[in-house]
């Protein structure tokens, strides 16, 4: 049996049944899996991580995803929207501290005002940083024309998680209406890729009703879609969301954590040169979660640089850490933490996915 996993790990292409075996492996076999993904990361990426200073610039959202703490229907949070000046100040903090890139994230709002505002912010940040600060966006589903405007303004990476690739599971964790359609989300992802963004997606792991079979399909979807970046994390309950009522069927948190590490390891083996995020949700379950993800195959960290006073209101799930990394002296602490995984934090570089260059060359 031990040899069997070893054989799978030597294969060029993994089948669905291989992936399911890897997702189920334990003990020595799991160690083999993690050793293989670490070896591939070392070979294709090196012992490095790149930074995206995360700016959660607004928790106002027009959608009602059943799992999310900042969903429109949650009346128990204080809504905020950083001013343009606040956003630019934080972006300049990232620039001056040599983060290399920022990620602008928010609840989802459509419309011309949002389109114009984000475009202006991208242009200002690009100008003030002399084009040196890379910009990743994660502001949900938008019209193709809007994605295009933002791309032309200078944003070059976009993260839009598909959440789950199983349509019937998607329907169980979202309201059943046009605003929350699986087809629309998929179309958005395609249009991001067509426009030319380095395109990232991912799923939540350990959702109610989710099976190992679903997770294997998610990994195959990412491979077939030819993504450039992957952001996956464990699903964590939020008491003020409708999905809390399905908590009875959940895996314990430590098993969701473990499954997430396996998903990271497997996607690293399947897609050797993509960027993989070590998600904050991992850190919520285990304070050294990010480091474990890096060791296993992740190469991107998103330190939260949102001004501390807003962080507690961007509460997607219970116990989300307020990292308060928006302080210059945190940089040392940050490097020390990462050094646990014998990893070098690369400052001042965009840290683009080399998979993207190869994908674009092919087309």
Q: Which residues bind ligand SAM (CB under 6 A)?
A: 67-68, 105, 107-108, 138, 140, 160-161, 163, 204, 233, 235-236, 238, 281, 316-317
- Residues 38 and 247: their CA atoms lie apart, in Å, by 33
Per-residue DSSP letter, 349: -
Q: Closer CB to ligand SAM, residue 195 or residue 346?
A: 195
First-to-final CA distance of the chain: 41
Instruction: Report what 230 binds from ligand SF4, ligand SAM, none; CB cut-off 5-8 Å by kind.
Output: none
Tell me if 108 contacts ligand SF4 by CB under 6 A. Answer: yes
How do strand 300-301 and strand 157-159 relate by DSSP bridges? unpaired
Place of tokens 């450039």: 228
DSSP code, position 174 = S
Query: Which residue lies nearer to ligand SF4 by CB, 14 or 68?
Result: 68
Q: Strands, DSSP E only, in 15-80? A: 48-51, 53-58
Binding-site member from 41, 52, 63, 295 for ligand SF4 (CB under 6 A): 63
Exposure string (b/e) for 9-19, b if CB count within 10 Å is 16 or more? Answer: beeeebeeebb
Q: Do residues 124 and 155 make contact, with C-beta atoms less than 8 angstroms apart?
A: no
- CA–CA separation, 199 vs 46, rounded Å? 22
Q: Which residues within the stretch 124-183 sit at the binding site for ligand SF4 (CB under 6 A)?
A: 140
- Give the count of beta carbons closer than 10 Å to the beta carbon of residue 196: 14
Instruction: Tell me which stretch binds ligand SF4 (CB under 6 A): 64-72, 207-215, 234-242, 260-268.
Output: 64-72
Q: How far apart are CA 130 and CA 153, in angstroms?
A: 13
Query: How buried is 144 (Cβ within 10 angstroms: 0-12 exposed, 13-18 middle, 19+ buried)?
Result: middle
* Pick 60 or 346: Cβ nearer ligand SF4: 60
Q: Which does 71 bind (CB under 5 to 8 A by kind): ligand SF4, ligand SAM, none?
A: ligand SF4
Of the pair 108, 273, the CB lying nearest ligand SF4 is at 108
Report the site for ligand SF4 in 182-201 (rule: CB under 6 A).
none
Binds 161: which of ligand SAM, ligand SF4, none (CB < 5-8 Å by kind): ligand SAM
Spell out the residues 6+ positions from residue 10 whose beta carbon is closer than 8 angstroms to its own.
Answer: none
**What minimum distance in Å lies between the beta carbon of 68 and ligand SAM?**
4
Interacting span for ligand SF4 (CB under 6 A) from 14-22, 58-66, 86-94, 112-120: 58-66
For the window 311-330, what string marks contact with ligand SF4 as x by the rule CB under 6 A?
--------------------
**By the criterion CB under 6 A, which residues form the site for ligand SF4?**
61, 63, 65, 68, 70-71, 107-108, 140
């Amino acid at each position: 049996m031990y040899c069997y996993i070893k054989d799978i790990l030597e294969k060029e292409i993994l089948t669905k049944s291989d992936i399911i075996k890897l997702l189920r492996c334990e003990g020595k076999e799991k160690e083999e899996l993690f050793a293989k993904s670490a070896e591939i990361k070392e070979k294709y990426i090196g012992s490095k991580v790149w930074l995206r200073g995360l700016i959660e610039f607004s928790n106002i959202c027009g959608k009602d995803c059943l799992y999310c703490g900042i969903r429109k229907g949650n009346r128990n949070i204080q809504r905020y929207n950083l001013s343009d000046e606040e956003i630019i100040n934080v972006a300049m903090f990232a620039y001056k501290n040599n983060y290399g890139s920022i990620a602008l994230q928010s609840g989802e709002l459509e419309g011309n005002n949002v389109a114009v505002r984000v475009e202006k912010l991208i242009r200002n940040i690009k100008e003030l940083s002399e084009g040196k600060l890379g910009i990743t966006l994660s502001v949900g589903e938008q019209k193709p024309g809007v994605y295009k405007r933002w791309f032309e303004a200078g944003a070059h990476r976009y993260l839009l998680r598909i959440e789950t690739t199983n349509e019937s599971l998607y329907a169980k964790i979202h309201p059943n209406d046009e605003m929350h359609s699986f087809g629309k989300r998929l179309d958005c992802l395609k249009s991001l890729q067509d426009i030319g963004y380095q395109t990232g997606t991912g799923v939540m792991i350990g959702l109610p009703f989710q099976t190992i079979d679903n997770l294997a399909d998610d990994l195959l979807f990412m491979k077939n879609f030819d993504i450039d970046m992957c952001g996956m994390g464990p699903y964590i309950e939020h008491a003020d969301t409708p999905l809390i009522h399905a908590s009875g069927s959940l895996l314990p948190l430590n098993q969701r954590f473990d499954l997430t590490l396996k998903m990271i390891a497997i996607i690293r083996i399947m897609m050797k040169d993509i960027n993989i995020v070590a998600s904050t949700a991992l850190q919520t379950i285990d304070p050294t979660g990010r480091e474990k993800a890096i060791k296993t195959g992740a190469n991107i960290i998103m330190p939260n640089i949102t001004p501390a006073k807003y962080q507690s209101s961007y509460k997607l799930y219970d116990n989300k850490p307020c990292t308060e990394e928006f302080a210059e002296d945190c940089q040392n602490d940050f490097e020390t933490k990462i050094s646990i995984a014998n990893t070098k934090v690369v400052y001042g570089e965009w840290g683009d996915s080399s998979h993207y260059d190869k994908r674009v060359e092919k087309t």
